[in-house]
Structure 1
């Protein structure tokens, strides 16, 4: 393979371990003046600039950044691409919100032209916010997932997505059957799973919208394709939990519904998990299942406060999710800011090193992809983001008041948004440049 050696010089920060295991200061690697070297889509060297330059060819061309910070691309462990067009919809809690906003919008995705338009916008938004991998809901329409994967494949993205399975308690135009859902999911898996950097997630929306017969087919798919993901919702809202127990009176808990049908395994990701018992937490840990912490949507829908310390006590894998469109921003930086506030409301502190972990390496571990993505270690896929520490006048002023890296990182997470993302790189190639994007918008106007 022909070498494509490229190098980038800047301040550099990436997560290397969970702060709960090693402490905050030992959970990351930071180079005030660092160089990242990329070849054929992978990181081949990283470290202090003088050390990297000494061991690399003298002909190495280095792109230098000033007042920037390079870190690994953000990983969003729960998001709905079909809800892009209904983000910021006013005034409902979960179940009414689904009925009044979500289902009407998702009906439009039967049209592949509309689905393609939204998929492009969605992936553009991820790139402009520095998100390089996401676990994504489609709709019940097979076409919506084909279109999403087609667009993601063009961009060489590491994306995980799946067709929604719903055979009850939803509008007729948004329901399938156990057999059709199984057949279409199987066809999508055969076409897309492990094609390039793409992966598939079997995606029952949540227990109330699937009959026992459909949940049985989900368990069957997971047995037939043991390396696919399973992606659904869990214990987001108290009324939702009551509904689940009414629909499945023979089961002990919400989680037990999924467990009974064989839906818990190491690539199972459950969004939210706000109202979980100790027994449910233990079962998630025992099965190596993961939870996506979605602070902006939990606050927006009034669902509750995620208990991160409790989940850590049970050693459950945790990633972070924007949960667009109940979540109010594609920005993982803004999501980290809201996560801090969720912890504050529970008299707990969320250290910026932990936030960085949840949005990068923690997300990779919750997806069991930490051997491929999640930080800038040598051998990893070169998905990274260049952040502008002086993106706004206020950020520049505030950064100049900081005394250490911890303060800088906290300011970045508190004040940062899409304006902070200067460039995004996918598999070693630039996929987004804020200056190019701004020029494009200016030309269009």
Structure 2
């Protein structure tokens, strides 16, 4: 981490609350059209108006001038599979055949540590190129896939959450662990990586159909033994999958009730998709502070369904956005916002741009119980931030030149932007990506 003061000038945006539940239109966020972000030892020291803060800088402070560009906290992707990087955009008729045809054979290669390391390097560089500074990441069943991922993340100084997939049935033999080995490997990885530097561990049963009751029981025991770890898995993504769960767990009230019965609904539990939930499921998630990772590009690609923002909000569920690569079709959180907006419209809801950017920053941090650590420019927060360029493409430049409000600027970035809009990415105050100009 840098040990000297750094200052960054540009338009500054960060969030204080969910725009959907704020008392006034400007209560949810802080916006300085000409702002200054001050970073010391990898953490935010101050963020505010340039004219006010510039005078407080000690003589000789290095000033990075991003005037005309937007500085905001780095994006947070709460559900993504790094082993699926090489199979993104693979055709299939639905979720279950897609898993069998592409996912499982691709994940088999991660028994080779050198292969895992190579994919981890590419995956992390791609995240940073798209402005994502934190992600909740699924590895494979192989412990060495977790070691490779965290080693690559540690080398870059990133705040990342990851875990070994646990699968002891309904999967190929070459990817199958047992209830005992899955739990034993998971515990060893927790002890090796959880809270080492900026690494955090997630207990990761792939999804209920690929775990026996014995494995889910042990996963729940691990969650109780290590309460500050994360839990990540899938729930209610696809109607055929939900029907399968009803057959496998006939005594459970619902799909998410399967996890609840093993003690896996709690703070720091992240559930991918959450499309086919009922009202009782949503209330239970809110009660337990379990969070939903909304994966619009994946849900559209696989034809899984449309997330219901209105009903989730009525229940008070913690929400965030996620790419879900490789079911998702882009690493870009801007592209993910683009599809989330359309999903909401198709369900009869409207997502303002301010809320989409909230869900990709502070909303995700709150879902992960990491507010104050990442997600906004609070004093003392880790200085993970990005620089967005409203003139990155000719079309963006033309559209944003005609914008009359912050909402219009953000909406254009969400609907027209992609990795090209990310001019630079910083992690703990250190530049980890800079766009190559052509």
Q: TM-score, normalised by structure 1?
A: 0.97
1:2 deviates by 8.6
1:282-293 to structure 2, matched below 5 A, reads: 282-293=283-294
- Name the counterpart of 1:345: 346
- Name the counterpart of 2:10: 10
Q: Secondary structure at the match of 1:350?
A: coil
**Is 1:393 paired with 2:394?**
yes
1:361-380 to structure 2, matched below 5 A, reads: 361-380=362-381
1:53 deviates by 1.2
Question: How far does the alpha carbon of each residue in 1:309-366 deviate from its partner, in whole angstroms, 9 at most, with x for none?
Answer: 1111111111110000000000000000110000111221100110011000000000
Summarize the Cα distance change of 1:2–1:402 in structure 2 as closer, same or farther, 3 Å threshold. closer
- Name the counterpart of 1:187: 188
- Name the counterpart of 2:409: 408
Asked if structure 1 preserves the Cα contact closer than 8 Å seen for 2:2 and 2:40, the reply is no
1:378 deviates by 1.4
1:24 deviates by 4.2
- Name the counterpart of 1:62: 63
Q: Secondary structure at the match of 1:402?
A: coil
Q: Following the alignment from structure 1 to structure 2, what is the Cα–Cα distance between the partners of residues 2 and 312?
A: 40
1:252-401 to structure 2, matched below 5 A, reads: 252-401=253-402
Q: Secondary structure at the match of 2:316?
A: coil
Q: Following the alignment from structure 1 to structure 2, what is the Cα–Cα distance between the partners of residues 3 and 165?
A: 40
Summarize the Cα distance change of 1:69–1:180 in structure 2 as closer, same or farther, 3 Å threshold. same
Q: Following the alignment from structure 2 to structure 1, what is the Cα–Cα distance between the partners of residues 228 and 37?
A: 32
1:20 deviates by 2.1
- Name the counterpart of 1:442: none
Q: Secondary structure at the match of 1:269?
A: strand
- Name the counterpart of 1:20: 20
Q: Secondary structure at the match of 2:196?
A: coil
1:26-65 to structure 2, matched below 5 A, reads: 26-65=27-66
Question: How far does the alpha carbon of each residue in 1:360-412 deviate from its partner, in whole angstroms, 9 at most, with x for none?
Answer: 00000000001200011211100000111100011111111111111111001
Q: Following the alignment from structure 2 to structure 1, what is the Cα–Cα distance between the partners of residues 231 and 263?
A: 10
Give the number of equivalent residue pairs. 437
Asked if structure 1 preserves the Cα contact closer than 8 Å seen for 2:170 and 2:210, the reply is yes
- Name the counterpart of 2:179: 178
- Name the counterpart of 2:225: 224
Asked if structure 1 preserves the Cα contact closer than 8 Å seen for 2:2 and 2:430, the reply is no
Q: Following the alignment from structure 1 to structure 2, what is the Cα–Cα distance between the partners of residues 403 and 364?
A: 30
Question: How far does the alpha carbon of each residue in 1:122-154 deviate from its partner, in whole angstroms, 9 at most, with x for none?
Answer: 000000000000000000001100110111011
1:195 deviates by 0.3
**Is 1:83 paired with 2:84?**
yes
Question: How far does the alpha carbon of each residue in 1:267-314 deviate from its partner, in whole angstroms, 9 at most, with x for none?
Answer: 110000001111111111111100001110010000000001111111
Q: Following the alignment from structure 1 to structure 2, what is the Cα–Cα distance between the partners of residues 37 and 420?
A: 23
Q: Secondary structure at the match of 2:78?
A: strand
Structure 2 unpaired stretches of 5+: none
Q: Secondary structure at the match of 1:195?
A: coil
1:51 deviates by 0.5
Q: Secondary structure at the match of 1:292?
A: strand
Deviates more, 1:310-319 or 1:186-195: 310-319
Asked if structure 2 preserves the Cα contact closer than 8 Å seen for 1:24 and 1:351, the reply is no
Runs of 4+ in 1 over 6 A off after TM superposition: none
Q: Following the alignment from structure 1 to structure 2, what is the Cα–Cα distance between the partners of residues 134 and 176?
A: 25
Q: Following the alignment from structure 1 to structure 2, what is the Cα–Cα distance between the partners of residues 229 and 406?
A: 34
- Name the counterpart of 2:107: 106
Summarize the Cα distance change of 1:2–1:139 in structure 2 as closer, same or farther, 3 Å threshold. closer
**Is 1:116 paired with 2:117?**
yes
1:3 deviates by 4.2
- Name the counterpart of 1:166: 167
